[in-house]
Each structure stands twice: as structure tokens, then as C-alpha cells.
Amino acid sequence: MYLKQFNRHWEKDFFYDISFKRDYFEELKQKLENKFILNLIWIRRVWKTTLMKQLIDYLILEKKINRKNIFFYSFDEIWEIKEKIDEYIKITWINLEKEKIYIFFDEVQKIKDFQSKIKIYYDFHTNIKFILSGSSSLYLQKKESLAWRIFETYIKPLNFWEFLRFKKIDYYLEDSLIYKEKIILEFEKYIFRQFIDTIYFREEEIFEYINSLTNKIIKEDITTYFKIEYPDILLKIFRIISNNTWMILEYKNFSNDLDIDQRTLEKYIYYLEEAFLIKKVYNYSTNLIKTERKLKKVYLETTSFCLNKEIDWEIFENYILNLLDLEYFYRVWNKEVDFIQIKDKYSLKPELIWIEIKYKSKIKKEDTKWLKHFHNKYPLKEKIIISKDFLWEIEDYKIKPFYDILKN
């Protein structure tokens, strides 16, 4: 009976019927077609479970899969994988050898050594398609047993297009000249409301929601996988980064300020990064070893984590970093280009796009003068300035509003 509560879709004519679909849905549908394990990864509350239930509806409605050939279970309580699959077979009389089976395991990271247990079924039961979800990348550190068997999809918070689509005002982006003011107004709401639950929250409600979420990640998820000697210090580090939006990562000074060992700080930064709370960005060099040793910056994985609720260029910069999934900036002495995007990263001669962030409506020629200092350093494919709402070209700089970047 307990298992049936997780599988309402076994009931005749029942559908989960969740109308709003993340952009990821179409991509995930395609990945159902192959044998590989499909793994949905990111932190809590980004609709991983909802996506799973929408995929179940799709399998029944579009692919005409028998309802009882689809098994869903969430490991909120600790059970063994074999125990649950055996119970499923007992209830449904499914034959794993002869029938095509779709098994959805939610929060699978809570099962110790789940990779080797899934591997046994994958290798010996070719008719099973596994769809997994987990709330952290930390549990993937021992994933070698599933090498070459798994597709990982990172389910991140809402993008701006999804936010508008959820509110049924995505037509704004279809004619940005007419709706420019409304787009900016909605963007300044969205920047702190990238989790679906928070779309209509007031500011104080957002703070409570994010505070609860990040506390659970730090004090429950991270401590599940690592022995944390100072959990309150780990939380404090994240709060400092959240309050600064981005910061130069100087381990020695930072550890002195916190009165902890530098090696401890480096480990804690690593844990926060692996838990999808922060993201490191590196000072670019063609020498990868040199890049690793050079200056680093640290940003938030989503601007919803920002404690500062006044939108400024720093928050906007963090947003563009997340949107384009950027990894590098470039800085020499006191001169800096915000980001470098690399095309053909593994080529012998990768092409670079230099990206400068200006959260203002008017960009003047003098705003680009100092950037010429870098022109001869590396071969550039393109130079872009991302603005608040200004679209123009100054010399060979393309200036684009943020919503134009989104559409591309």
C-alpha cells in the first residue's frame, strides 16, 4: 500500500497533470530514448521531482507505456534499492527480463553506495531505463562505477524566459522595444526570485525561504558527505560571499579574518562549490597551470542567494556569469575585463569573446577606451558589452541589452 502512494499513475486515468514545464523538459524527453541512466542534478527545490512526474505523464500519454511499467520512488526514508525493486515486482508482477521498465528514483543520493547497486541492474537487465535525481554533486564523487553509463543534466533555477512564461507575460520578449520598461521591471523582480516557489513572494518571505534552503544544504547535505569540524564557520563563509555577491578569493587574508587554518578554508570553499552554492572564476591564461595559480573570484550560483537586495552592477554581473556559465575573467594589475568566453575550448587556438558588464542604459565611447589595453594580448573573435537596455555598436564593440543575450 505504501508503494502505491508513490505511484498514483498506476491508477486508471490518473495523471500528475502539471501544466508548466521547465525548458529542460524537451531535452529530457529525448534522453528517455536511449539506454543510459538519466541523472538530474542540482540543489533542492528546482522542480527535479516535478520534471520526473511530467516525464511519467509523457510516457503514458505519448509513448503509450503501460502504467505499471513505470516505477517511482523517493528515498526520503532510507531503504535499500533492491528491497524497493523487489517490492515493486511483487505488487505488479513485472518481468524485468521481458518488459521495458522505467524506474524513477528521487533523492537517490541518500542510499549508501547507490552507484554500485544501480550498476548491477543496469548491466544485467537491459530493459530497465533508470531516471535518477540528487540534490548535490557531492554524492557523485564516487561515481566511477557508473562511468560510461550515465547522462547528467544540471537542473538549475528558472531562467528569465521561464519566469516570464510562468507569469504568462513571455510575449514581452517578442517585442522588446515596446515592452522594454516592463521587461526591466520584471527582471528586477526575477533576479531574486529564481526558485519557482518564490515568484510571488515578498522580500521578507524570500529571505526566509533562501535562509531555510541554504541552511539545509550546508548543515544537512554537506555534512552528510564530509566531516565538518566547524559547521558554523562554513555557514559564515557562505553568508560573507552572499553579502558581497562576488569577491576576490584571497585564502590567506580570508582565513586570517575567520581565524581558521588556510587549508580548512580551502576545503570549505570546495564543499560550497560542489554543493552548487558558489562558483569560482579564474584569471585567464593560455597556460592552464598558471591559470589555476592566479587570482580567483568567487560568485553565487544564483542571484537568489544574494543578501543585498538592491540591484547593482555586481548582482547583474553575477547574473550574466550564471546565464552564460562563464569560467574566466582577465586582470592585470588594476585593469580588468569582466569575463572571457572561450569558443572551441580544447582547440590549439581557441577563440575568445571578451564580455564587459554595464548595468546602465547609456554606454559612451569613453567607457570602452581602457579595454583597448588588452586587444593585442590575445586574438579575439568578438567584444561584447552587455547593458541594461542599450543596443548599439561603438567601433568594434557590440553592445547588447541583457534580454537580447537571453534570446540568443
User: Both 135 and 224 in a single domain?
Assistant: no
Is 267 a domain residue? yes
What's 92's DSSP letter?
A: H
Is 198 a domain residue? no
| pLDDT score at 138 | 59
- Indicate yes or no: pTM above 0.75: yes
User: Both 140 and 269 in a single domain?
Assistant: no
User: Both 136 and 231 in a single domain?
Assistant: no
Residue 116 reports pLDDT greater than 80: yes
Q: Where are the alpha helices (DSSP H) in 146-261?
A: 160-166, 180-190, 203-216, 223-225, 231-244, 251-258
3-state class of 390 per DSSP?
Answer: coil
Give just the sign of the alpha carbon dihedral 62, 68, 69, 75: positive
pLDDT (tens digit per residue) in 58-112: 999 999 999 999 999 998 776 789 999 999 999 999 999 889 999 999 988 878 7
| pLDDT score at 371 | 66
- Strands in 380-387's sheet, in edge-to-edge order, are 246-249, 296-300, 278-283, 328-332, 335-343, 351-358, 380-387, 397-401, 392-394
Return the C-alpha cell found at 389: 537596455
3-state class of 300 per DSSP?
Answer: strand
More confidently predicted of 221 and 133 = 133
User: Both 140 and 54 in a single domain?
Assistant: yes
Q: What is the DSSP string of 21-90?
A: --THHHHHHHHTTSSSEEEEESSSSSSHHHHHHHHHHHHHHTS---GGGEEEEETTS---HHHHHHHHHH
Is 162 a domain residue? no
Question: Could you tell me what percent of the chain has a pLDDT over 90?
Answer: 59
User: In whole angstroms, what is the distance from residue 142 CA to residue 52 CA?
Assistant: 24
User: Both 132 and 229 in a single domain?
Assistant: no
User: Both 144 and 277 in a single domain?
Assistant: no
Confidence tier at 144 by pLDDT (50, 70, 90): low
- Structural domain range at position 378: 209-407
Return the C-alpha cell found at 243: 553579502
**Domain end: 120, 154, 188, which one?**
154
Q: What are phi and psi of 195, to 5 degrees?
A: -95, 130
Q: What are phi and psi of 238, to 5 degrees?
A: -65, -40
Is 325 a domain residue? yes
Sequence-ordered list of residues with C-beta below 8 angstroms from that of 280, at least 6 positions apart, any chain: 249, 269, 273, 296, 297, 298
User: Both 301 and 398 in a single domain?
Assistant: yes
Residue 141 reports pLDDT greater than 60: no
Residue 408 reports pLDDT greater than 50: no
Structural domain count of the chain: 2
What is the pLDDT of the chain when averaged over all its residues? Answer: 88
**Domain end: 108, 131, 154, which one?**
154
User: Both 255 and 346 in a single domain?
Assistant: yes
User: Both 232 and 349 in a single domain?
Assistant: yes
Tell me the mean pLDDT in the region 129-149: 71
3-state class of 97 per DSSP?
Answer: coil
In 226-374, at which residue ranges do the beta strands (DSSP E only) sit?
A: 246-249, 278-283, 296-300, 328-332, 335-343, 351-358
User: Both 137 and 37 in a single domain?
Assistant: yes
pLDDT (tens digit per residue) in 29-69: 999 999 999 999 998 899 999 999 999 999 999 999 999 99
User: Both 235 and 379 in a single domain?
Assistant: yes
Is 113 a domain residue? yes
**Domain end: 85, 120, 154, which one?**
154
User: Both 46 and 133 in a single domain?
Assistant: yes
pLDDT (tens digit per residue) in 238-283: 999 999 888 899 999 999 999 999 999 999 999 999 899 999 999 9
| CA dist 43 → 70, 214, 217, 269 (Å) | 25, 9, 8, 17
More confidently predicted of 335 and 106 = 106
The CATH code of the domain that includes 242 is: 1.10.10.10
Rg (CA), the chain: 23
pLDDT (tens digit per residue) in 342-394: 887 777 777 888 899 988 877 777 767 666 666 666 767 788 999 988 777 77
pLDDT (tens digit per residue) in 190-245: 999 999 999 999 999 999 999 999 999 998 888 877 888 888 999 999 999 999 88
Is 322 a domain residue? yes
Is 33 a domain residue? yes
Residue 140 reports pLDDT greater than 80: no
Is 194 a domain residue? no
Return the C-alpha cell found at 188: 528586477
Confidence tier at 1 by pLDDT (50, 70, 90): low
Count of beta carbons in the 10 Å neighbourhood of residue 194: 22
| pLDDT score at 221 | 83
Confidence tier at 115 by pLDDT (50, 70, 90): confident
Q: What is the DSSP string of 338-351?
A: EEEEEESTTSSS-E
